[in-house]
Amino acid sequence: MKKAADLPYALTAEVTHRCPLHCPYCSNPVELQRRESELSTDEWCRVLDQAGELGVAQVHFTGGEPLLRPDLERLVGRARENGLYVNLITSGVGLTEERVRQLKEAGVDSVQLSVQAPNAELSDSIAGFRAHELKRQAAARIRASGLPLHMNVVLHRANLPLLEEMIELCEEWGAERLELANAQYYGWALRNISQLLPTREQLEEAEAVYARAKERIGDRIELLWILPDYYEQYPKPCMGGWGRLSLTVAPDGRVLPCTASSDIRTLVFENVKERELAWIWHESPSFNAYRGYDWMPEPCRSCERKEHDYGGCRCQAFLLTGDARATDPVCVRSPHRSAVAERVRSAAGADAATADYIYRGLEPVELRRSRA
């Protein structure tokens, strides 16, 4: 079994899957963990201790909505005791002035706030919850506290045409860093791909808007553009290579190479309730499954790009082909390329005037909305 040559740089701590929003592009797995299966405070503290011992440099507290954990401040403090940089990823719902103060005192270093659209009507419609005004208030409170405000937007068919207004909104709210992340089609998002996947023309126009904004803004805001890959010739690298840079601890304690990998049903992921984090990183079959190149089938094994993209995304390969070893279907050299092409054709034929989302929730409920 091949051991990792490197130590993990970052830990994504999914402290809960509970969330007030119902976003149709949610990247969490289809089967969410309920409150009763979440790690306890003491269990999370042990995870953070082990992360520090393992050499992890930063932790991202996320969910779901991490603010729903009343022990979040204690977990933040434990992370700082272990020398970890602490980033909080939140919807902003529930981020009162008092909570911001407590989190800052506990040791939060930065806050990343999600936003769905530049106006309340569309934003609340996408989120399935009236959150836009709460997000504006949260942004103001974060800035008033002196904490760095980072923002992220998941881009898709409904909000891409408003990209310029979205960037201007984030400037107005005081973002120091803005991540423009085109939707990735895993988990719940794959169920809504026909409603979410933009056209190639939309993407090209949006990329031009991004380029102009990048030139205008300069160094005032760190502006990031996360490419979609359904329209690319070659896949994106798989998290810098499977099990090379980071790890995720799910709410129930399972340790994953990335946030989407729990959907790979052919792997068994070890749990921090039974195994030490270091053993899982170095020795577990799941983390070693796709390290290196020996596992690769053709055409990846003999491809000159394998040291760049590591065969592409294992989660995407499994979701579209049923085989996590398969060449990522995004790749033009993949024998499964038709799986991507078919989804692109299906999305292109969908009615752009009406989006019928299957909204996210612990108990999936199909809500329908129409846009004129």
Q: Over the stretch 347-356, which tens digit does the pLDDT of each residue have?
A: 777 665 446 8
pLDDT at 364: 38
**H or E segment at 315?**
helix 314-321
Residue 351: inside a domain, yes or no? no
> How much is the mean pLDDT over the chain?
91
161 shares a domain with 60: yes
In a domain, 231, yes or no: no
Q: Report pLDDT digits (tens) over 290-337.
A: 998 999 999 999 999 998 899 899 999 999 999 999 999 999 999 999
> Do residue 44 and residue 180 come from a single domain?
yes
- In terms of domains, do 197 and 253 share one? no
For residue 166, give its domain range.
Answer: 10-226
CA distances from 307 to 63, 246, 324, 337, 369 (A): 32, 18, 18, 21, 44
- Is position 45 annotated in a ligand binding site? no
Q: What is the pLDDT of residue 27?
A: 83
In a domain, 313, yes or no: yes
Q: Of 226, 253, 287, which residue is a domain's last?
A: 226
Report the relative pairing of strands 58-62 and 177-182 from DSSP bridges: unpaired
Tell me the CA distances in angstroms from 289 to 238, 266, 372, one per residue in order: 13, 11, 48
26 is in an annotated binding site: yes
pLDDT in tens, 78-117: 999 999 999 999 999 999 999 999 999 999 999 999 999 9
Task: Provide the pairing of β-strand 222-226 with 177-182.
Answer: parallel
| CB within 8 Å of 342: residues ≥ 6 apart | none
Q: Is the pLDDT of residue 371 over 50?
A: no
Ligand-binding annotation for 238, yes or no, is: no
